[in-house]
Chain A
Amino acid sequence: MMKQIINIQEYLPTTITSRDAIEVLKSRLDVVDCSSFVFNFSGIDFVSRAFADELLHYIKNNNFSVEFENTNKNVAEILKAVNKNRSKRNSSFHKIAVTQFKRKEELNNFLSLI
C-alpha cells in the first residue's frame, strides 16, 4: 500500500485554529490508493485543540496508519495532550455559586471592582 505525504503548509495557514480546517486536508487525502499517511507539519506554527481533536478523530475513525513529522513543540504538545485524553474524561461536576444583584448600583459597583 502506498504512503502519501501531506505537506499541511501547502493547504492551510501557519496557525490552524478551526475544527473545520480538517475538511481541507480530507479533500487532499488519496484514500482510494492509500491508508498510510505522513502529515508533515513543517511551517505550521500552532494548531488549536479543536483541530487536533478533529484530526485525531478522523484518523481513528478511518483506521489510517499515520505519522506526524516536523511538529514544533507547541503542535507536538497539543497533539500529545489531546490524544492522551481522548478516552478519559473528568466527569466531576463543578458547582458554581449564583449571585444576583437586586439593584443596578450594586451590579455596577461589583463590576467596577473586578
Chain B
Amino acid sequence: MISVVKYLISEAMDNIVEHANVSNGWIMVQNYPNKGFLDICILDTGLGLLGSYKAFDVAGINTDIDALEQAINGNSTKQITETRGYGIDTSRRMLVDGLKGKYFLFSGSAFYIYTNELEQITPLNRNVKWTGTMLALRVPNSVPVGFDYTAYLE
C-alpha cells in the first residue's frame, strides 16, 4: 500500500514540476482510520491544465473541459508523446478500478470526478474557478483481495 501512495503522490508532484510553471505547491494529508480511508490533496497555483496546453501550443484544446479530457486520456504537452502522459490515466485507474478509491481533479472552471459509481466532467460558473490544478485522492485503508498495483503500471 505504501508503494501505491508513493506512486500516486509522485505522479501528481511531478506534474507540478513539469507543467505548472511554479516553484512550489502544497500537499495535505488526513488519515481517517475509523472511516477507513486516507485523503490526499495536492495542489498548485500554476498554469492549470488548459494553461499548460496553451503554453506548449497544443492545438484543439480550448476549454477547461477539453484540457481535462485530454489530460485524462494521456495527451501530454511534451513532444515525446509515446512515453509521456501516463501519470493521470494510470493513477486514476489504479486508485479507482484497483483500490476502489475516489479521484477528483479540478483545474480552471471545471472538475473531473471518477469513482466506482460515476465518471464525469462538470463545468462550473466562470466565477468559480481554481487558478492552477487541484487533485484530491481518497485512498481506502484496506486493499482489495488480489489487487496488484504493478498491473496498472505503463
Q: Which stretch (A1-9, A17-25, A29-37) binds chain B?
A: A17-25
| B113 lies within 8 A of A114 (CB) | yes
Which chain A residue lies CB-closest to B2?
A: A46
What range describes how many residues of A lie at the interface? 20 to 34
Proximity string of chain B (92-128) to chain A, C-beta cutoff 8 Å, 1 when within and 0 when not: 0000000000101000000011010001111110000
Instruction: Point out the residue from B115, B121, B124 that lies within 8 Å of A114, measured CB to CB.
Output: B115
Q: Would A46 and B6 be within 8 Å (CB), given that A19-B14, A89-B81, A114-B102 are in contact?
A: yes
A-B contact pairs, 27 of them (CB 8 A): A17-B6, A17-B10, A18-B14, A19-B14, A19-B18, A46-B3, A46-B6, A48-B7, A49-B10, A49-B86, A50-B14, A50-B18, A51-B14, A77-B150, A77-B153, A78-B150, A78-B153, A81-B150, A82-B83, A82-B154, A85-B154, A87-B82, A94-B73, A96-B112, A98-B122, A99-B122, A114-B113
Please report B residues at the A interface, Cβ cutoff 8 Å. Answer: 3, 6-7, 9-11, 13-14, 17-18, 65, 68-69, 72-73, 80-84, 86-87, 90, 102, 104, 112-113, 115, 119-124, 150, 153-154
Q: Which residues of B contact A89 (CB under 8 A)?
A: 81-82
Q: Which residues of B contact A81 (CB under 8 A)?
A: 150, 153-154
Q: Which residues of A contact B18 (CB under 8 A)?
A: 19, 50
Flag whether A107 is at the interface (Cβ < 8 A). yes
Q: Which residues of A contact B102 (CB under 8 A)?
A: 114
Distance, CA A85 to CA B106, complexed state (A): 28
Distance, CA A29 to CA B68, complexed state (A): 39
A74-114 residues with Cβ-Cβ distance < 8 A to B are: 74, 77-78, 81-82, 85-87, 89, 93-101, 107, 110, 114
